[in-house]
Structure 1
Amino acid sequence: MANYKLWQRYGIEMEYMIVDRNTLDVLPRADVALGKDKNGEQLSDVEHGPIGLSNELVSHVLEFKCAEPVDSLKHLGKTFHHEIVKANETLKSINAMLLPTAAHPFMDPAVMQLWPYDCLDIYQAYDRIFNCKGHGWANLQSTHINLSFNGDEEFGKLHAAIRALLPLIPAVAASSPFLDSKYCGYLDGRIETYRHNQEKIPSITGKVIPEAVFTYKDYEEQIFNRVKADIAPYDPEHLLNHFFLNSRGAIARFDRGAIEIRLVDIQECPDADIAIAEWEVAVLKGLVEGAFASENEIRALDTDALAKILLATTHSAEKTVISDRDYLKIWGIDASEITAGELVHKITDKVKSKISTHSQELLAKMFRRGTLASTLVKNVGADPDRDDFVYEYGRLAHCLAENRLYGID
């Protein structure tokens, strides 16, 4: 994305689990979907026109991504879905299929298998340092969006806006309420496990909300240099790049002129993911254009306060009551408190003209239904057994296969 200005280019990445079609047990068989080259060597990356497929870290996850940055997100869900259908067809040969949502409800992460091909030395280093046999590494699927910027001025505007947006993301996108065959206590269990997966070296994830830094120089000094210094004793071979190590909820990729938002739980179908991505872009545009507050007010938001709101929305998603007056002020809210869901509605009303008609329609249905996590908790029940999960998550797999929303008649 280097040299593209703000709002000129986007990149989307979507991660799905590979599971047995009948039992929904995870299957470490991304190799089947990725295939082999003409010499019979295993591929780790393939491109099918506008969409690339790849594997990262674990063998039961398949990633779909834009092969090249795109200038619009409109109709991109259909493009992703086309490749998802093809991958599912390939996986039928081993009685497997793709499963959506950000966390498998009954996977034992101890059965995780590292991807044994490209980048194995890097994955082994991560496993040695952090032990990847936990939900925070082996069982968290997300939708990433990359947004282009050019130079410090655009970076500062975009980074400030993203920091303000991040605490609201679980209120829109939470889809991971179950871990270890039970309700995990959080509607966004993925973010909760993500917060802790690198506690051995706290500077890598920070407080998930990035620090209030708005230039390359400040980012280098306050974030990258700390990460590089803290990882050094654990990585004598210098395998781990600071761009990849940085695990905040949004990471600056100065090497490619983009900020990548990593906080979004993946949904039940790509149309839903693209609708949320369009919503993110619309809200960020509103913030940058001054539709809600001044740039100085947005930059002044306290990192600890934002992290506290994020922790609350991680727990309760759209039902979270937000009472931080400084935070509400930047959205133009005069009330002393408001639920995250109500706040999302008010924000969306202000920026919906920046969202495609199709995604507006989907978002309206999703907001009426509630987050995927809330809907799953309601449908699966308080004391689910394995059969309950297999049935309900089987329905989700059908939603993915057909590119339609879950829980909406």
Structure 2
Amino acid sequence: MSTNRKLGLFEGFGVEMEYMIVDRDTLAVKPIADEVLKAEAGELTSDVERGTMAWSNELVLHVLELKTNGPAPELTSLANSFHQEVLRVNELLEPFNAMLLPSGAHPFMDPNAETVLWPHESSEIYEAYNRIFNCQGHGWSNLQSTHLNLPFGNDVEFGRLHAAIRLVLPLIPAISAASPVLDSQITGLLDTRLEVYRKNQQKIPLIAGQVIPEAVFSEEDYHAQIFRPLFEAIAPYDPDGQLQDEFLNSRGAIARFSRGAIEIRIIDNQECPLADITIVALVTEVLKHLTAETWSSYYDQKTADTQDLAALFLNSLKNGPETQITNTGYLKLFGIEQEQASMKQVWENLWSQIYSQEAFSSELAHSANLLLEHGPLSTRLLKALGEAPGLPEIKDVYQRLAQSLAQNKLFVP
């Protein structure tokens, strides 16, 4: 998300969505992202530009990333823009009897047997990760997310945005959890992707930290408290310095000072772009109100304890919208004067205050209401799967997810 002039708060939106490439019949992963990029570009490449949209490779060869080509001026039209890219990719995949599959994780992929790393351009970075962490695991090769990049124009705006994002991160899995199944088993977590993500670099715990970023509100402090310790920790494993860059940081939101943006990384990929953009719009509007100090002062927002936020975040991975918040100080930061509230109640409260026709088209508003009523995709998947689904039932439900993606319709069992 780069631009000649630094964009200010909410003046642009960089959105990225990761999708799995699978066999149309069996849903087994197909490591052919390079073939798709080649088919569109006419030559082997890691990036394709298509006007306001773009495609690129990921760490593993069965995943393709679709994204805005630089910051988009608004969000509402992006659901359709992303859907058009999905249709084009599926068209190119047809000769391979393959298609895109959405959601946060593949339900029955065996990463130890099926992982194929991207072997082309920039592969030395992936090889470095593989050497240090062994990328043949769910936490590396079987997780798809939707990223939201939000710009800041200066250090003051960075501080305000970072303070607001830290508060919203624990609430996000309650609306975006989309990975309830791994290894053909219901895991007991609504957001299994984030559980494996937060543990995938345990050899160097500083890389992901507590997923909730530390309470730092200036570029100088960010370098001193996050980047510097991070680069020192990786150095013994990375003698060539290939990984000592901003991208090494794996917190749930990472500062990209090189592009003047903060990237939120904890949204599970949803069943269709309409669902993804609905969640992105919900998160964005809450952040707008927080940075404008609608419910609480910037001073108070900065005092939120990282440990408390991290505990709430972990709870949300399991319980999603049913997660109970008993921290009255935290609730007050969102203008909620109650002893306790569930995350579902918090989101309903926020939705009643952030809704506007400017921020939410009728389609996005309908989608938001459906999401808040029926719960995140994981809850809806579990309802469709039943208590102890076998592989045929899992395949059947995920085939329906592929249809949701192709039609850009929310999945409601």
TM-score bracket for the superposition, by shorter chain length = over 0.9
After superposition, where does 1:200-279 map in structure 2 within 5 Å?
200-279=203-282
Cα deviation 1:186-233 (Å, max 9, x = unaligned): 100011111100111111100000000000000000000011100100
Report the residue type matching 1:379 in the other structure.
A
Report the residue type matching 2:336 in the other structure.
I
Partner of 1:131: 134
Q: For residues 252 and 304 of structure 1, what CA distance do their matches in structure 2 show? A: 20
Q: For residues 276 and 291 of structure 1, what CA distance do their matches in structure 2 show? A: 20
1:306 pairs with 2:309: yes
1:6 pairs with 2:13: no
Q: For residues 377 and 266 of structure 1, what CA distance do their matches in structure 2 show? A: 16
Partner of 2:329: 326
Q: For residues 374 and 129 of structure 2, what CA distance do their matches in structure 1 show? A: 39
Q: CA 1:295–1:36 in 2, change beyond 3 Å: closer, same or farther?
A: same
Q: For residues 10 and 158 of structure 2, what CA distance do their matches in structure 1 show? A: 12
- The structure 1 residue matched to 2:198, chosen from 192, 195, 199, is 195
Q: For residues 103 and 40 of structure 2, what CA distance do their matches in structure 1 show? A: 30
Cα deviation 1:221-278 (Å, max 9, x = unaligned): 0000011100100001111132010000000000000000001001100011111111
Q: For residues 288 and 238 of structure 1, what CA distance do their matches in structure 2 show? A: 36
Cα deviation 1:95-127 (Å, max 9, x = unaligned): 000000001111111121001101111101001
Q: For residues 244 and 39 of structure 2, what CA distance do their matches in structure 1 show? A: 28
Alpha-carbon distance, 1:41 to partner: 4.5
Alpha-carbon distance, 1:37 to partner: 8.5
Q: For residues 187 and 225 of structure 2, what CA distance do their matches in structure 1 show? A: 34
C-alpha contact 1:253 1:259 (8 A) present in aligned 2 = yes
Report the residue type matching 1:74 in the other structure.
T
Q: For residues 32 and 295 of structure 2, what CA distance do their matches in structure 1 show? A: 47
Gaps spanning 5+ residues in structure 2: where?
Answer: none
C-alpha contact 1:14 1:63 (8 A) present in aligned 2 = yes
The farther-off stretch of 86-95 and 349-358 is 349-358
- The structure 1 residue matched to 2:29, chosen from 20, 26, 30, is 26
After superposition, where does 1:166-185 map in structure 2 within 5 Å?
166-185=169-188
C-alpha contact 1:37 1:43 (8 A) present in aligned 2 = no
Gaps spanning 5+ residues in structure 1: where?
Answer: none
C-alpha contact 2:279 2:368 (8 A) present in aligned 1 = yes
- The structure 2 residue matched to 1:83, chosen from 82, 85, 99, is 85
- The structure 2 residue matched to 1:47, chosen from 44, 49, 70, is 49
- Identity, % of aligned pairs? 48
Q: For residues 39 and 59 of structure 2, what CA distance do their matches in structure 1 show? A: 18
Q: For residues 116 and 37 of structure 1, what CA distance do their matches in structure 2 show? A: 19
Q: CA 1:229–1:393 in 2, change beyond 3 Å: closer, same or farther?
A: same
Report the residue type matching 1:138 in the other structure.
S
Alignment partner of 1:12: what SS?
Answer: strand
Report the residue type matching 1:284 in the other structure.
L
Q: For residues 391 and 131 of structure 1, what CA distance do their matches in structure 2 show? A: 32
Alignment partner of 2:355: what SS?
Answer: helix
C-alpha contact 2:18 2:146 (8 A) present in aligned 1 = yes
Alpha-carbon distance, 1:366 to partner: 1.4
Alignment partner of 1:145: what SS?
Answer: strand
Alignment partner of 1:53: what SS?
Answer: strand
Alignment partner of 2:172: what SS?
Answer: helix
Partner of 1:393: 398
Q: For residues 232 and 37 of structure 1, what CA distance do their matches in structure 2 show? A: 38
Q: For residues 43 and 295 of structure 1, what CA distance do their matches in structure 2 show? A: 44
Report the residue type matching 2:387 in the other structure.
A
Alignment partner of 1:262: what SS?
Answer: strand
Instruction: Give the number of aligned pairs.
Output: 407
Alignment partner of 1:187: what SS?
Answer: coil
Q: For residues 359 and 140 of structure 2, what CA distance do their matches in structure 1 show? A: 33
Report the residue type matching 1:394 in the other structure.
Q
Q: For residues 292 and 359 of structure 1, what CA distance do their matches in structure 2 show? A: 24
> TM-score with structure 2 length normalisation?
0.97
Structure 1 runs of 4+ aligned residues shifted over 4 Å read none
1:363 pairs with 2:368: yes
Q: CA 1:37–1:334 in 2, change beyond 3 Å: closer, same or farther?
A: closer
Q: For residues 51 and 33 of structure 1, what CA distance do their matches in structure 2 show? A: 15
Q: For residues 360 and 299 of structure 1, what CA distance do their matches in structure 2 show? A: 31
After superposition, where does 1:83-122 map in structure 2 within 5 Å?
83-110=85-112, 111-122=114-125
Partner of 2:67: 65
C-alpha contact 1:36 1:43 (8 A) present in aligned 2 = no
Report the residue type matching 2:58 in the other structure.
E
Q: For residues 376 and 356 of structure 1, what CA distance do their matches in structure 2 show? A: 25
Partner of 2:388: 383
Alpha-carbon distance, 1:65 to partner: 0.5
Q: For residues 382 and 80 of structure 1, what CA distance do their matches in structure 2 show? A: 33
Q: CA 1:37–1:118 in 2, change beyond 3 Å: closer, same or farther?
A: farther
Report the residue type matching 2:393 in the other structure.
D
Q: For residues 275 and 182 of structure 1, what CA distance do their matches in structure 2 show? A: 28
